[in-house]
Amino acid sequence: QVRLQQWGAGLLKPSETLSLTCTVYGGSFNGHYWTWIRQPPGKGLEWIGEIFHTGTTNCNPSLESRVSMSVDTAKSQFSLRVSSVTVADTALYYCARRSCSPTTCNTWIDYWGQGALVSVSS
């Protein structure tokens, strides 16, 4: 069974950099898109971006200038960094998986981490 466990800094000040890491247990790390999604308190879901095990990324254009993602296949980990955070970046951040087969990738997210709350406040 695939399980995603995430951790990272919970309280940040404006202009600091958010950093989160997700470790994948079970299943194959290679061959899937590893995804970040966030949810502001009481609000809906926003896709941040995704990274393939090769390092290829897709990113939400609204966040692209501040977002960087990386993978460490040896550790089955992937990471997110968001620079110059503001109060608007306060959210529950989920790591997740968009599964792929050798020939195609799903359009949906099938595995999620538990979420990590990141608060930005001066």
Partner 1 sequence: DIQMTQSPSSLSASVGDRVTITCQASQDIGTDVNWYQQKPGEAPKVLIYDASNLQTGVPSRFSGSGSGIDFTFTISGLQPEDVATYYCQQYENLPPLTFGGGTKVQLK
Binding site for partner 1 (CB under 8 A): 44-47, 49-50, 58-62, 94, 96, 106-110, 112-115
The answer for residues whose C-beta is within 8 angstroms of residue 64's C-beta and 6 or more apart is 49
Shortest reach from residue 122's CB to partner 1, in Å? 28
CA separation for the pair 12, 41 (Å, rounded): 16
Toward partner 1, which CB reaches closer, 14 or 40?
40
Please count the residues of the chain: 122
Toward partner 1, which CB reaches closer, 3 or 75?
3
Toward partner 1, which CB reaches closer, 16 or 46?
46
Count CB neighbours of 41 within 10 A: 9
